[in-house]
Structure 1
Amino acid sequence: MTIYAKDNLFFIHSLDFSIILENYHDYLMVRHIGKKISTYRHSNLLIDKDHAFSPAPFAENRTFSLDSQRQILGQSGMGDFRVPSIILANKENQLSDFKFKDYKIYQGLPDEKSLPFPYDEQDSTQSIVFTLEDKLLNLTLEIHFSVYENSSTISTYRKIINKSNKSYKIKKFDSFMIDVQPHDYQFITFQGAYGREKEMVSETLKQGIHSIASTRGASGHGQTPSLIVAENKVNDHYGECIAVQLMYSGNFHMTIQKNQLREVRISTGFESTMFEWLLESGQEFASPTTVINYSSEGLNKLSQISHHFILNHIMPSKFSNQIRPILLNNWEATYFDFSFDKLISLAEKAKHVGIELFVLDDGWFGNRFDDNRALGDWTVNEDKLSGGLENLISSIHQMDMQFGIWFEPEMISVDSHLYRTHPEWVIGAKGRQNIYSRNQLVLDLSNPEVVSYIKDTIDHFLTNYKIDYVKWDMNRNITNVGNYSSLSENLMQSHKYMLGLYEILDYLTEKYPDVLFESCAGGGGRNDLGIMRYFPQVWTSDNTDAVSRIQLQKDMLFLYPTISMGAHVSAAPNHQTGRSTSLETRNHVAMMGNLGYELDLTTMSDNDIYQIKEAIKTYKSIRATIQLGQVTRLETPHPTNEYAKQFVSDDMVVVTYNKILSDVEFSESVIRLKHLEPQASYIDQSQRVYSAEELMILGITMPVKQMDFYSRQIILKKIKEN
C-alpha cells in the first residue's frame, strides 16, 4: 500500500485496489477506481466534448463541463446536474464552488473523535488529505483517504471548516462520492424488514437515480448502509465488485445514479430530508467514515476482504479474535414470567449441557411484568430476584458460567418513575401528542443531561456487579423529532442523538473493556459498522426460525464477519413463524454463527438434552474455525432451495449443507469445496480420507433425503501423509 503524487496525479494504492485522481482545472477528477494499477499514463482519458450544450465554467472552452467529468465532489447549481454531494445554504443561495488548493500525505490516521472511526494498532496506515477552498464563501473542505497494510480497503471522510465571519447551513454533506466509468453494472443492496433483515437485492443499473435510505433515527431493519456495485456477470467466484459501507448508525442514504451519458455516480452520507447543520463562524463539521472494499475475484473475495478489515480495524481489538462463549438467553424460555428459582433451574440445565454464559433478559427491573411499563426504572425487582441481582450473579458464577444482562437504556415508558420525574427528557415536538411504539418513547440523547443519566445508570451496574456481557437493546425507531424552538435546531437533533449515543458507547466500552457488548435493535435494526466499532457482537434478528436464518445469516455474512453474528437455537414450533424443524437442523444453522440457546431446557426430553449436549461438544471442537476461519459461499445446483457454506482454518474445514424443501426426480447434488491446501488430505467424521484435489474438483455428493428442512454438517480435518 502506498500514496504518492506525480505529474498532477494522486495515486491511492491499497493491497489490490487503487483510486487515481487528477487535479484538472483545479477540480479533483477521477481517472480510475478499481484493480491496482502501478503505472498509469492516461489510457482512459475522458475526452472533453460539448455534450448537447453542456454548461461550461470557461467561456473560452465550451468542451469542459462539470456535468460530464468524473469527480469526487458534486456541487449544486454550478453546471453539474447530477445528484450533488454537498449543499450549503447562505442568505442568498445554495451555490458552492470548492476548488483544489493543496494536499498533504501523512503517516497514520486522521485524528477524529466525535464519530466512530477505524483504528490501526500497527500504526502502518498512510493517508492523504486534499484541501479544497471556496474563496467567495471562505470555507475549506478537507477530503481524507487512508490505506491499510495488507488490506484491499480504502477509508475516507470529509470535513468542512468555516473560516468566515458568517454562518452557513449544511443541507447535504456526503461522506463519499465518486463517479465511475460507464459499464454494464448491477448494484446490490441489503434490505428486508423486521424478522428478515439483510435480504440481498440485486438489480441491473438503468438510467435514473436509485437509492435506499433510512429516516428512522437508526440504520433500520429494512435497509443497511452498504452498497455493492459490480459488473453484470459477477458471481461469488468471478468478476469485479466494489462495496461501499457507511460507518454510521443513524439516518443515511446510499445512492447510485446513471445519467444520460451513462456516467455512474455513487454516493453515501446523511439522509438529507431529516438533516441540517448550522456551521457557525470558526466551527468545523465532520462526516462519518466510508469504508470501500474492492475485489477482482467475485463476491466471496469481497466478503473476505470486508471481514478482514472489520476484524482488524473496526471491531474492538480485544474481541476481534476472542472466541465467543456459548450462551443461554432466558427470553423465549420465560419471557417476563420468571423467578429466581426458575432462572437457577435453567442455569443448572445450561451448565449440564456445556453452556458457558447465562443471559438474563427483559423483566428484571422496576415494575416490569410486561412491555407497557418501567423502562427507565433501572432498579432490581427484588420480588422476582429474591436475594437481589448479586445473589443470582454469584450463583451463576459458582456454576463456572459467565453472567450477562439485558438493558434498553435509550427508551422510556410513560408508566415509569423516570418519566414522571423528567417528562422533558423524551423526544417529542412541542404541542404534538406523543407517538408510541410498543408503548415506548425515546430518550433525547441530544440532551447532555440524558447522556449523563445513561452513563451513570449503566456505570452503576457494571461497577457494582460482576457482569460479563451486556445485551443493549433498542426496540423502536425515532418519531416526532422537535424538542427545540427552531426548525434548524430540530433538523440537527437526529445527528446530535447519534453523537450522544456514540459518546455513551465510547465511554462505557473504554471504561469496561472486558465486557462483551451485544447490540440489539428489535433484532438487526441497527446492525452497521458504526455500532460494530463499539459492540463486537450483534443480535442478527429476533427471527430465530432455522429456515429463515439460513438465508438471513448467509446475507449478513456478505459483508460482516461470522464472529459478529449471534445465532440461537429456539423451540419448535418456532415462536415467530410457527414452523417446526428438527433439533439437528436448528443446531446446524445456529452453529454457523456464535452459538446460543433461547428455549426452556427444563421442559425438554432427555433425548433432546443429549442432542444439545453433543451439539455443544461438537461446536466447541469447531468453534475457532467457524468464528475465525475464512467463510465461503459454495455453489449448489439449485440455489433457491439448497445452500452450502464453508469455513476454513489452517487444519480444519466445516461445511454445512441445507436443503429447504424435499423434491423428486433430481440427481444428487454435488458440492465442490474451495480454498483447500492442494497437496493435503482431509479426513471426515466417519474416518474417510479424501484428497484436497478431489474435494475441490469433484466435490462431495449430498444424499437425497425425503424430508423438508434437511441439514448436513461435514467436518474435515487436515492430515499429514506419511
Structure 2
Amino acid sequence: MAIQYNESEQIFHLQSENMSYILQIVNGYPAHAYWGQKLRLTDRPRSYINLSGNLALDRLPQEYPQYGSGDFRHPAYQVRLEDGSRITELKYQGHRIFGGKPKLEGLPAVYAESEEEAETLELELRDEYSGLTVYLNYTVFQHADAVTRSARLVNSGTGPLGVMRALSASVDLPRSDLDMIYLAGTWAREGHLERRPLGSGGTVIESRRGVSGHQLNPFVALAEPGAGEEHGEVYSMSLVYSGSFAAQAEVDPFRSTRLSIGLNPFDFHWVLKPGEAFQTPEAVMVYSPAGLGAMSRTYHRLYRTRLSRGVHRDRERPILVNNWEGTYFDFTTEKIVSIAKAGAELGIELFVLDDGWFGKRDNDRSSLGDWTPDLRKLPGGLTDLADQVKALDMQFGLWVEPEMISPDSELYRQHPDWCLHVEGRRRTEARWQLVLDYSRADVREYIYQTLSGIFSTVPVSYIKWDMNRYLTEIGSVQSPPEQQAEIAHRYVLGLYELLERLTSEFPHILFENCSSGGGRFDPGMMYYMPQTWTSDNTDAVERLKIQYGTSLVYPVSSIGAHVSAVPNHQVGRMTPLKMRGDVAMSGNFGYELDLTQFTDEEKEIVKEQVRVYKEIRSLVQQGDLYRLLSPFEGGESAWMFVSADRKEALAFYFRVLAEPNAPERRLRLQGLHPDYDYRIEGESTEDVLPGDRLMRIGLPLPGLKGDYASAMFRLKAVEN
C-alpha cells in the first residue's frame, strides 16, 4: 500500500520505492510534515509537527495556504467573493484513497496504466462562508520517487466567485540553506542551467508570454549547497502546462522555504459560477537523495513512459532530413526530391518539408492560415511530392504553424476577427503574424477541418508543429467582459482540445513540437507530441549547453538534434562534421541542410553516422542518461547512456578548444555494473576494463587534435 492514513493523528504517509511524503491535518489545516528519503510505515505514528509550539498560520507549514487570515507568505490560491472581499479559509472535510490515477479534465497529465502502479489521495477542503470547495489530489507512484499534485476548485455556494490565483502545488520546507536551480535563456540559447543560493524573501521564475517560453522553463529545483550529479538532496517541481506559469521560492524570517508552482496569477481572473469547477494543471514533484542525475532520470522515465502516449512512445524515432536551412523558402518539387534522393542513398529514413509550401509563402510575411499547396513550387501538390518521396523508400513529413494567421492572407481578409485582439487597439505583429483565437470553438474547428483534410489525403507520417510568437492583446470578441482575463488560459485549453482530436484521429503520425525551437518545450506539449525541436540554434558547440541543460528535466527521446551546414547559420562557426554528428546523435538524430552539396568524403562520413545511429538509437532514446562533464563549467562536456540491465553503454566526450601540453585525461563513467567487465570500442581504443575501474579511475581519453574535437565510446559487458 503506497498511502497509509492514521486516523488518530490524522497523518497521511505517501510512500514510493525510495521516498516518503507526509502531511498532517492540524487544527483543520493540511500541514506539510516531511518530504525526503523513505521512512518506515508504523502502526504507532507520532505527530510530525510540534503541536505544543507556535501554531500561528504564519509559522505553520501548509499544503495549500490562503492569504488574509494570518499567513503573510505568498498563498497557493486566492478567491474574490461576490461582496468584493478576498478572505477564505479552507478546512479539512474528508478524504479518499484509491488505486490508480484519475485524468484531469481538459488538461495533460502523467498517467498510470494500472491501479497497482500508483495510488491517489484526494483531500476535500471547504470554506463554509463562501461555499468554496477545493479538492487536492496527490498521486504517488510505486516505482518512481515522484508525487503529482493538482487542485480542483468548486463553487458550492450560491453566488459567483472570482479565482485570482490557483497554484498546483505548494510545499513549506523546514530549511533555507538551499540553491535554486532552473533553466533560462532566449531564442537560440535555450535550456541554460542557472544556479543561485536562496536568500531572504522571494525568488520567482515565470512567463507572462502566454506560452512557457524560451526565457524560463516551468521547472525549479532546490538543492543542497554543493549537490552535484551524484550526491546531495534535491527537491524539484515541474509543471505540466504550456502557458504562462510562475514558480517561486520564498524564504521567511524563520528560515523555512515555501516552494510553489502553477498558473501565473498575473493578469488572470476566472469567473466561477455556482456549481462550476476550475482544474489546475498538474505539478510533478521529484525528490532525489543522490543529486541532480538521479532527479533527472526519475523525470526521464516518468515523462518518457507515463506522460508521452501513443504508438510512437516506445518506438525508435526515424532519422530525418529537413530542408529548412538547405533551401529556406526557395525550392521546387525537383529540388526537394533531389535532397530526398540524396538522403535515401545515405540511409536516411524520413524527409520533412518545412515552411514555404502553402499559399504564396515566398517569405515569412504572408499566407499563414492559407493551408493549400503553392502550385508554383509544387505543381503536383503535396500528394504528388509525398508519393515521389515514398517511392525512394522514405517517409514524408510536413511543417505547419496552425496557431498563426498572417494579415496578408485570404483567411485574415475573410475573418479579421479570428485573431487574438482587443477592439480599437493596435494589433501587435511579430514575424509579420498574429495569433489565432484558440479560445473560440469555430476557429479550432476550422483548423481541425483544414489539417485533418491534409492528413487524410496526403501520406504524411510526421508533422512539425511550429508556433513562432508570443501572445499579445489577449482578448476575444466572442467572450463577455468578465471573461477577458480568462482568455490566455482558455487559449491553452483550446490548443489541448485540438491536439487531443488530431493525435487521436491520426495516431500513425509522429508529431514534433516546435516554437521557434524550444519556446514551448514543456511537459504539457509532451503529452501530445513525444519530441520537441530543441532549438533553432544548430551549432554543435552551442548545442552542448542547450542539450545538457534541457536534459535536466526532459528525456533524450524528446530532444530533437540535427546536423547543419557550416559556417553555422546562427553563429557562423566552423565545426567538423564529426563533432556535429556526435552532438546530434545524442538526441533524436537528423540533418538540416542540402544533402546534394556534400562532397564524396562527407557523404561517406554521413553514411557511417547514419549506420551507427541505427545501431545505437534505442540506447540513446530509451536508455538512462548520465551527465559526466558540464559545458557550463569549462571547455569540456561529456555524457553517457546506459541500458536498463547495465550490459550496454555509450559515452560521448567533447572538447571545444585544444590546448598545448594538455594533461592526460580520464573520463570517469557512471551507471555501469561494478562487477561487469566491459569491452570498449572507440577512438583509437579497444580494450576490456572492469566496471568499477571505469567508474572510479576512469576511461583513458585519446589524444584528440584540433579545436572542436569529439569522441564516442561503445561499451558492452563481456561474459566472464
TM-score, normalised with respect to structure 2: 0.96
2:343 matches 1:350: yes
Residues 585 and 613 of structure 2 are in contact (CA less than 8 Å); yes or no, is this contact kept in structure 1?
yes
Give the C-alpha shift of residue 704 in structure 1.
4.1
Distance between the aligned counterparts of 2:214 and 2:391, measured in 1? Answer: 38
Summarize deviations over 1:696-715 as a string: whole Å, max 9, x none: 22211223445221111111
Instruction: State the AA in 2 paired with 1:411.
Output: M
2:107 matches 1:115: yes
- Give the match's secondary structure for 1:668: coil
Give the C-alpha shift of residue 395 in structure 1.
1.0
Give the C-alpha shift of residue 487 in structure 1.
5.0
- Give the match's secondary structure for 1:517: strand
Alignment correspondent of 1:92? 84
Distance between the aligned counterparts of 1:260 and 1:561, measured in 2? Answer: 38
Summarize deviations over 1:538-590 as a string: whole Å, max 9, x none: 00000000000011101111111111110000001100000110000000000
The partner residue of 2:232 within 239, 247, 250 is: 239
Give the C-alpha shift of residue 30 in structure 1.
1.0
Residues 637 and 669 of structure 1 are in contact (CA less than 8 Å); yes or no, is this contact kept in structure 2?
no
- Give the match's secondary structure for 1:541: coil
Distance between the aligned counterparts of 1:697 and 1:281, measured in 2? Answer: 63
- Give the match's secondary structure for 1:423: coil
Alignment correspondent of 2:3? 3
Summarize deviations over 1:632-654 as a string: whole Å, max 9, x none: 01147994111110111243211
Distance between the aligned counterparts of 2:494 and 2:701, measured in 1? Answer: 52
Summarize deviations over 1:326-355 as a string: whole Å, max 9, x none: 000000010000000001100010001110
Distance between the aligned counterparts of 2:512 and 2:502, measured in 1? Answer: 13
Instruction: State the AA in 2 paired with 1:45.
Output: I
The partner residue of 1:28 within 7, 27, 30 is: 30
Summarize deviations over 1:69-116 as a string: whole Å, max 9, x none: 100112111000000111101223111101011011112222422111
CA-based RMSD: 1.5
- Give the match's secondary structure for 1:196: coil
Give the C-alpha shift of residue 164 in structure 1.
1.2
Structure 2 counterparts to residues 175-186 of structure 1, below 5 A: 175-186=168-179
The partner residue of 1:70 within 36, 57, 61 is: 61
TM-score, normalised with respect to structure 1: 0.96
Alignment correspondent of 1:60? none
Alignment correspondent of 1:707? 706
Change (3 A) 1:48 1:455: farther
The partner residue of 1:610 within 593, 601, 604 is: 604
Alignment correspondent of 1:13? 15
Instruction: State the AA in 2 paired with 1:622.
Output: I
Residues 636 and 669 of structure 1 are in contact (CA less than 8 Å); yes or no, is this contact kept in structure 2?
no
Summarize deviations over 1:159-217 as a string: whole Å, max 9, x none: 01111110011000111111111241111011111111111111101111000111111
The farther-off stretch of 115-124 and 83-92 is: 115-124
Change (3 A) 1:580 1:637: closer
Residues 120 and 312 of structure 1 are in contact (CA less than 8 Å); yes or no, is this contact kept in structure 2?
no
Alignment correspondent of 1:281? 274
- Give the match's secondary structure for 2:278: strand
- Give the match's secondary structure for 2:712: strand
2:511 matches 1:517: yes
Distance between the aligned counterparts of 2:364 and 2:50, measured in 1? Answer: 60
Give the C-alpha shift of residue 38 in structure 1.
1.7
The partner residue of 1:336 within 298, 305, 329 is: 329
Give the C-alpha shift of residue 440 in structure 1.
0.4
Alignment correspondent of 1:488? 482
The farther-off stretch of 122-131 and 24-33 is: 122-131
Alignment correspondent of 1:566? 560
The partner residue of 2:470 within 455, 474, 477 is: 477
**Identity between Structure 1 and Structure 2 (%):** 37
Distance between the aligned counterparts of 2:467 and 2:501, measured in 1? Answer: 19
2:465 matches 1:465: no
Residues 14 and 151 of structure 1 are in contact (CA less than 8 Å); yes or no, is this contact kept in structure 2?
yes
2:419 matches 1:426: yes
Distance between the aligned counterparts of 2:631 and 2:480, measured in 1? Answer: 59
2:634 matches 1:632: no
Structure 2 counterparts to residues 133-532 of structure 1, below 5 A: 133-484=126-477, 488-532=482-526
Alignment correspondent of 1:59? none
The farther-off stretch of 10-19 and 94-103 is: 10-19
Residues 663 and 706 of structure 1 are in contact (CA less than 8 Å); yes or no, is this contact kept in structure 2?
no
Residues 544 and 631 of structure 2 are in contact (CA less than 8 Å); yes or no, is this contact kept in structure 1?
no
The farther-off stretch of 600-609 and 107-116 is: 107-116
Alignment correspondent of 1:601? 595
**Hey, which bits of structure 1, 4+ residues long, moved more than 6 A?**
none
Instruction: State the AA in 1 paired with 2:18.
Output: D
Give the C-alpha shift of residue 360 in structure 1.
0.4
Distance between the aligned counterparts of 1:637 and 1:336, measured in 2? Answer: 34
Structure 2 counterparts to residues 537-686 of structure 1, below 5 A: 537-635=531-629, 639-649=633-643, 650=645, 651-685=647-681, 686=685
Give the C-alpha shift of residue 503 in structure 1.
0.2
Distance between the aligned counterparts of 2:167 and 2:632, measured in 1? Answer: 41
Instruction: State the AA in 2 paired with 1:369.
Output: D
Instruction: State the AA in 2 paired with 1:580.
Output: M
Residues 21 and 29 of structure 1 are in contact (CA less than 8 Å); yes or no, is this contact kept in structure 2?
yes
Unaligned runs of 5+ in 2: none
Residues 377 and 418 of structure 1 are in contact (CA less than 8 Å); yes or no, is this contact kept in structure 2?
yes
Give the C-alpha shift of residue 47 in structure 1.
6.1
- Give the match's secondary structure for 1:193: coil
Distance between the aligned counterparts of 2:46 and 2:301, measured in 1? Answer: 32
2:125 matches 1:132: yes
Alignment correspondent of 1:53? none
Alignment correspondent of 2:696? 697
Instruction: State the AA in 1 paired with 2:651.
Output: V
The farther-off stretch of 682-691 and 602-611 is: 682-691
Instruction: State the AA in 2 paired with 1:476.
Output: R
Distance between the aligned counterparts of 1:393 and 1:274, measured in 2? Answer: 45
Distance between the aligned counterparts of 1:443 and 1:17, measured in 2? Answer: 44
Change (3 A) 1:637 1:320: closer
Distance between the aligned counterparts of 2:311 and 2:69, measured in 1? Answer: 48
Residues 329 and 360 of structure 1 are in contact (CA less than 8 Å); yes or no, is this contact kept in structure 2?
yes
- Give the match's secondary structure for 2:144: coil
Instruction: State the AA in 1 paired with 2:24.
Output: E
Change (3 A) 1:123 1:514: farther
Summarize deviations over 1:427-475 as a string: whole Å, max 9, x none: 1111011101000000000111111111111111111111100000000
Instruction: State the AA in 2 paired with 1:477.
Output: Y
Residues 230 and 240 of structure 1 are in contact (CA less than 8 Å); yes or no, is this contact kept in structure 2?
yes
Give the C-alpha shift of residue 666 in structure 1.
3.9
- Give the match's secondary structure for 1:646: strand
- Give the match's secondary structure for 1:458: helix
Distance between the aligned counterparts of 2:445 and 2:658, measured in 1? Answer: 56
Change (3 A) 1:636 1:209: closer
Distance between the aligned counterparts of 1:252 and 1:561, measured in 2? Answer: 21
- Give the match's secondary structure for 1:483: coil
Distance between the aligned counterparts of 2:47 and 2:379, measured in 1? Answer: 76
Distance between the aligned counterparts of 2:46 and 2:452, measured in 1? Answer: 58
Instruction: State the AA in 2 paired with 1:69.
Output: L
Distance between the aligned counterparts of 2:232 and 2:508, measured in 1? Answer: 41
The farther-off stretch of 556-565 and 481-490 is: 481-490
- Give the match's secondary structure for 1:568: strand
Change (3 A) 1:254 1:632: same
Instruction: State the AA in 1 paired with 2:114.
Output: Q
Give the C-alpha shift of residue 248 in structure 1.
0.3
Instruction: State the AA in 2 paired with 1:656.
Output: F
Residues 304 and 630 of structure 1 are in contact (CA less than 8 Å); yes or no, is this contact kept in structure 2?
yes
